[in-house]
Structure 1
Amino acid sequence: MRRRTFLQGTTAAMIVGAVPKLAFGQDNTITFGGSVPMTGAAAETGQNVLQGYQCAVNFINEEMGGVEIGGQNYQLALNLFDDASDPARATTLIQRQVDEGINFFLGSFGSNIVLPTCAITEAAGRIMVQAGGGSDLIFTQGRKRVFGIFPRASRQFVSSVNMFTGLDPVVKTVSIIYTNDAFSKFQAEGARANLEEAGIEVLDYIGLPAEVSDVSNVLTSVRENTPDVLVCTTHDQTSILIARQMVSSDTNVPMLYQTLGPQTSAFRDALGNYANGIVTQAYWSERAPFSGDYFGSAADFAEYFRANFDRELTYHMASGAVCIVAYIEAARRAGSLDVDAVRDALSAIDFECFYGHVRFTEDGDGDASLLGPLLIQRQEGEMEVIAPLDGASAEPIYPAPTWEERA
């Protein structure tokens, strides 16, 4: 396969910062609007999601020759701007795109941005499909035009509890650290409920501010009351901060589990060998046995991505790409680009592809029984799937080595 590297803002399918004049489907071009954090606090993962969007658009345009909907062939285009991880900037520019006639939107990364922007698109009768916002608030306020590839935050921990109860020795105690933001708090609440239902004792339940620069006092509590598993429902930079301060203070636990952060190259670069043994969530793996009409298998998606992009592949690229695939599959089934027809088709969609089995709940979030997370662990520098067992590529390392042993 030929190698073509698509850098930020340089692909023909990508127009950053301009306001579109084309509505969805005009001139045989389907244009997706929206924003992505290309700079700012969420840029590391935002760039991953962006390249997932780009990857799907380029594959459908170049490898499939476009897409046929209602007997007419269309090419795809992106009109995405950098929201700089700023909700105020995002809402201003999303409203401008709505006013200019964009009907179909892709989401940003982070519930703090998805929540206010999807409120704008919903009120305007437009659609948003996104892989960056999991807060329960997105899906519990009666919206009918917002679809999330992930299950809502409070439903994301079932597979984790299943792994904990199957470990040897069995996990008996967990402590939870969360940040007080629209996603992490709901995820922590769901985790606590699932753990207690399974008979696992929650020793500490510690909230942090959304922006935090020191967790030394919290880690003192962890050392005094050491759990079998320390769960951190925190975003990338906070996860790095916690891990670094655990290393520097020699705060050891049998398992450190951080829901966001360890998937990224920035985490690996910041922690080095200390990243080994840390467990995290992933909503897709190239080693998973998924396949379908777009890209082929999960492994085929990974091959295509690496042949065309230089960025280290994480599940965020696949979840971004499947947003485009879900839109196109819904439009094909509807046989129309009518907004209501595509919305109805998305609501009813049920299909298998490289990402897995895609189906939404009646509230628009990903069906937790099908789209819940895998558990992965960095082992000798490689990200290995450790749960569920039928999709695992390696056994969990538990208890993990001490920080001193990882140095």
Structure 2
Amino acid sequence: MRRRDVLRGAAAAAVIVPSPAIRSAYAQTAKTLVIGGSVPLTGAAAETGLNVNNGYITAATYLNDVLGGVEIAGEKYRIELKLFDDASDPARATTLIQRQLDDGTDFFLGSFGSNIVLPTAAITERAKKPMVQTGGGADAIFTRGFKYVFGMFPRATRQFASAAALFKTLKPTPQTYSVIYTNDAFSKTAGEGVRLACDAAGLQRLETYELPAKVTDVSSVLASIRSKTPDILVCVMHDQDSLLIARQMVATNTNVKLLFQGLGPQLASFREALGKYSDGLCCSTYWDESVPYKDKFFGDSKKFADYYRSKFTRPIAYHVAGAAACIETYVMAMQAAKSIKPESVRDALAAANFETFYARIKFTPEGDGDALLLGGMIGQVQKGKLETVYPAEARSAEAIYPTPTWDKKA
């Protein structure tokens, strides 16, 4: 983590305000649109939490500083983010959100991790205040009848369809798979999604392994993997656990033809930590700066990425773009509703069909992302870089299969 990013993240944990250089006439006359929330700038989820935080900052800063604010129902507004560090702690996050509700905040952005998004969304739901978020995909968030929470991804059990489709295209065709997941709200349901998608694709499931929420050792699981030797091993868990498993696979020379890790390889820090052994790993990815979408704010993904890099040295990742799209989606919903009343904005979010630089934004009736429009692409690490290998129309490289064994990776 670079110091510049730490400093910017720490500043964001309080309040985002226009910089002195651009306190122009618009800043004096524009109304303020407050959007609250919490983000994990410290603790177990901080690596991705910082990406989410930086995405929120990027969008708000651009809309305020470059575009001079946004127009809603004939009024000019500047966006003020009130984001606080929840330290990856659900109890702290719920306290922070309740405090903001008590202070009169009407609109919220989500934290990272279903274990935080779910309880905080329950609080904003009871208050009938919208939450747009890019950090929680557990089915439980979208199956409890909530009407005010909207997510930038399909629910967890619907997220693996693209990967299973990729597996069917590989040559020679994989025949068997095993899946490992951790005992947390997102990973358990994601693991179920893996089983549903891979079974439907005709792969034979050899074994399913459930690990505790806090993983320290997987030696017994890897011994079973070595004895059964699936063609594909799928790991659905957060990035730190993915890194631990990969390292222990290297140490024990546990090889499969393809290792798919849902979260981890997307992050430059993960690839750097694993070094040459990251090559060949596959993962889900929901955005790349080469995607062809356009919007009326940034213009396109490349311009968004360029602006982000002018503000941050931290490598860009899809959670950055998804977070920025949350704010764009709020603005477009408010413009469609011609209102900043929470109920009207909620109805406009439910009816959303907006194109952003990130994707076309459309939600299911339950609030998760449309499985096709907001579904994932598949990335594979090749020579240290994450290449898109599926679907074909977004492909930047052909998938490598089988991948080299650990001892053959240069």
TM-score tier, shorter chain, comes to over 0.9
Paired with 1:68 and 1:400, the residues of 2 have a C-alpha distance of 51
Q: Tell whether the 8 Å contact from 1:106 to 1:130 is kept in structure 2 after alignment.
A: yes
The gaps in structure 2 that reach 5 residues or longer are 18-28
Q: Tell whether the 8 Å contact from 1:9 to 1:15 is kept in structure 2 after alignment.
A: no
Determine which of 43, 48, 54 is the counterpart of 2:46: 43
What residue number does 1:190 align with? 193
What residue number does 1:92 align with? 95
> Where does 1:57-206 land on structure 2 (aligned, <5 Å)?
57-206=60-209
Determine which of 339, 344, 366 is the counterpart of 2:342: 339
Q: Tell whether the 8 Å contact from 1:179 to 1:210 is kept in structure 2 after alignment.
A: yes
Paired with 2:332 and 2:358, the residues of 1 have a C-alpha distance of 13
Shift, 1:266, TM fit: 2.7
Paired with 1:39 and 1:10, the residues of 2 have a C-alpha distance of 13
> Where does 1:387-402 land on structure 2 (aligned, <5 Å)?
387-402=390-405
Paired with 2:152 and 2:67, the residues of 1 have a C-alpha distance of 23
1:19-73 Cα distance to aligned partner (Å, 9 max, x none)? xxxxxxx971111111000000000000000000000001111121110001000
Q: Which residue type is aligned with residue 8 of structure 1?
A: G
SS at match of 1:256: strand
Shift, 1:14, TM fit: 3.3
Shift, 1:193, TM fit: 0.9
Shift, 1:283, TM fit: 0.7
What residue number does 1:10 align with? 11
Determine which of 349, 352, 358 is the counterpart of 1:349: 352
Quote the sequence identity (%).
55
Shift, 1:15, TM fit: 4.9
Paired with 1:294 and 1:227, the residues of 2 have a C-alpha distance of 46
Shift, 1:294, TM fit: 2.1
2:252 maps to 1:269: no
Shift, 1:269, TM fit: 2.5
> Where does 1:20-35 land on structure 2 (aligned, <5 Å)?
28-35=31-38
SS at match of 1:9: helix
Residues matched between the structures, number: 395
Q: Tell whether the 8 Å contact from 1:149 to 1:371 is kept in structure 2 after alignment.
A: yes
The gaps in structure 1 that reach 5 residues or longer are 17-25
Shift, 1:288, TM fit: 1.6
Paired with 2:349 and 2:110, the residues of 1 have a C-alpha distance of 15
> Where does 1:176-255 land on structure 2 (aligned, <5 Å)?
176-255=179-258
Q: 1:10 to 1:69 in 2, by over 3 A?
A: same
Q: Tell whether the 8 Å contact from 2:14 to 2:83 is kept in structure 1 after alignment.
A: no
SS at match of 1:369: coil
> Where does 1:281-300 land on structure 2 (aligned, <5 Å)?
281-300=284-303
Q: 1:12 to 1:147 in 2, by over 3 A?
A: closer
1:313-345 Cα distance to aligned partner (Å, 9 max, x none)? 110100110000100000011111011110000
